[in-house]
A and B are shown apart, each in its own frame.
Chain A
Amino acid sequence: MSVDTETVRKIASLARIAVTDGEVEAMTGELNNILGWVEQLGEVDTDGIEPLAAVIPNQLRLRDDVITDGDVRDKVLANAPQAEHGFFTVPKVIE
Chain B
Amino acid sequence: MAELTDLGIADIRDGFRAGDFSAREVAEAFNDAVASARSLNAFIVETPEHALAAADAADQERAAGSVRPLSGVPLGIKDLFCTEGVQTTAASHILEGFTPTYESTVSERLFLAGAGMLGKLNMDQFAMGSSNETSYFGNVISPWRRNDGGNAPLAPGGSSGGSSAAVAARIAPGATGTDTGGSIRQPAAFTGISGIKPTYGRCSRWGIVAFASSLDQAGPMARDVRDCAILLEAMAGFDPKDATSLDTPVPEWEANLSSDLKGKTIGIPKEYRVDNMPGEIEALWDRGIELMKDAGANVIEVSLPHTRYALPTYYIIAPAEASSNLARYDGVRYGLRDLPDGANLQDMYAATRADGFGAEVKRRILIGTYVLSAGFYDAYYTKAQKVRALIVRDFAEAFEKCDLLLTPTAPSAAFALGEKSDDPLAMYLNDVFTVPSSLAGLPAMSVPGGLDQAGLPLGLQLIGRPLDEQGVLNAALAIEERAGFVARPSQWW
Residues of A within 8 A of B (CB): 1, 3, 7-8, 11-19, 27, 30-31, 33-35, 37-38, 40-44, 46, 49-56, 58, 60-61, 63, 72, 75-76, 78-82, 88, 90-93
CA distance A60 to B379 in the complex (A): 29
Rounded to whole Å, the gap between the CB of A10 and the closest CB of chain B is: 8
Contacts of A16 in B (CB 8 A): 327, 330, 346, 349-350, 353
Q: A44-B387, A49-B386 are in contact. Are A90 and B200 (CB under 8 A)?
A: no
For this complex, 12 residue pairs linking A to B, each with C-beta atoms less than 8 Å apart, are A14-B369, A14-B373, A16-B327, A27-B362, A41-B387, A46-B390, A53-B214, A53-B385, A55-B441, A75-B102, A79-B98, A91-B348
Residues of B419-455 at the interface with A, using a CB-CB cut-off of 8 Å, are: 424-425, 439-441
Contacts of A78 in B (CB 8 A): 99, 101
CA distance A17 to B493 in the complex (A): 39
Contacts of B243 in A (CB 8 A): 60-61
Residue B262 is within 8 A (CB to CB) of chain A in the complex: no
Are A91 and B343 touching (Cβ within 8 A)?
yes
Rounded to whole Å, the gap between the CB of A9 and the closest CB of chain B is: 11
Are B425 and A37 touching (Cβ within 8 A)?
yes
Q: A11-B366, A41-B387, A55-B441 are in contact. Are A80 and B333 (CB under 8 A)?
A: yes
Are A88 and B386 touching (Cβ within 8 A)?
no
Are B385 and A17 touching (Cβ within 8 A)?
no
The residue that A52 contacts in the complex, of B240, B330, B363, B385, with Cβ under 8 A, is B385
Interface segment, B22-30, B68-76, B311-319, B480-488? B311-319
The 7 A-B pairs of least Cβ separation, nearest first, read A51-B385, A81-B337, A55-B441, A79-B334, A46-B386, A18-B354, A52-B389
CA distance A7 to B369 in the complex (A): 11
CA distance A33 to B315 in the complex (A): 12
Contacts of B331 in A (CB 8 A): 81
CA distance A18 to B323 in the complex (A): 15
Most chain B CB within a 10 A radius of its CB, from A17, A33, A40: A17
Residues of B331-383 at the interface with A, using a CB-CB cut-off of 8 Å, are: 331-337, 339, 343-351, 353-354, 357, 362-363, 365-367, 369-370, 373, 376, 379-380, 382-383
Q: A46-B386, A52-B388 are in contact. Are A12 and B335 (CB under 8 A)?
A: no
Rounded to whole Å, the gap between the CB of B303 and the closest CB of chain A is: 15
Contacts of B392 in A (CB 8 A): 52, 55
Contact mask B231-261 → A, CB, 8 Å, 1/0? Answer: 0000000001001101100000000000000
Contacts of B323 in A (CB 8 A): 15
Rounded to whole Å, the gap between the CB of A87 and the closest CB of chain B is: 11
Are B309 and A40 touching (Cβ within 8 A)?
yes
Contacts of B240 in A (CB 8 A): 61, 63
Q: A27-B363, A40-B309 are in contact. Are A90 and B441 (CB under 8 A)?
A: no
Contacts of B98 in A (CB 8 A): 79
CA distance A15 to B320 in the complex (A): 12
Residue in B closest to A13 when the chains form the complex, CB atoms? B350
Contacts of B385 in A (CB 8 A): 51-53
Rounded to whole Å, the gap between the CB of A66 and the closest CB of chain B is: 13
CA distance A92 to B347 in the complex (A): 12
Contacts of A17 in B (CB 8 A): 350, 353-354, 357, 362, 365-366
Are A11 and B214 touching (Cβ within 8 A)?
no
Q: A18-B350, A79-B335 are in contact. Are A51 and B373 (CB under 8 A)?
A: no
Residue in B closest to A77 when the chains form the complex, CB atoms? B333
CA distance A12 to B440 in the complex (A): 31
CA distance A13 to B440 in the complex (A): 33
Rounded to whole Å, the gap between the CB of B204 and the closest CB of chain A is: 13
Are B466 and A56 touching (Cβ within 8 A)?
yes
Contacts of A55 in B (CB 8 A): 200, 214, 388, 392, 439-441
Contacts of A41 in B (CB 8 A): 309, 312-313, 316, 383-384, 387
Contacts of B365 in A (CB 8 A): 15, 17
Rounded to whole Å, the gap between the CB of B379 and the closest CB of chain A is: 7
Known pairs A31-B367, A58-B244, A90-B345; list 8 more (Cβ under 8 Å): A19-B354, A30-B363, A31-B370, A49-B390, A55-B214, A55-B441, A75-B101, A91-B345
The residue that B366 contacts in the complex, of A12, A58, A63, with Cβ under 8 A, is A12
Q: A16-B346, A81-B337 are in contact. Are A11 and B370 (CB under 8 A)?
A: yes
Rounded to whole Å, the gap between the CB of A30 and the closest CB of chain B is: 6
Q: A38-B316, A44-B306 are in contact. Are A54 and B369 (CB under 8 A)?
A: no
Q: A37-B425, A91-B345 are in contact. Are A56 and B201 (CB under 8 A)?
A: yes
Rounded to whole Å, the gap between the CB of B212 and the closest CB of chain A is: 12
Q: A14-B373, A15-B353 are in contact. Are A54 and B214 (CB under 8 A)?
A: yes
Are A88 and B332 touching (Cβ within 8 A)?
yes
Residue B199 is within 8 A (CB to CB) of chain A in the complex: yes
Rounded to whole Å, the gap between the CB of A45 and the closest CB of chain B is: 9
Residue in B closest to A38 when the chains form the complex, CB atoms? B312
CA distance A1 to B380 in the complex (A): 11
CA distance A53 to B348 in the complex (A): 33
Most chain A CB within a 10 A radius of its CB, from B200, B334, B376: B334
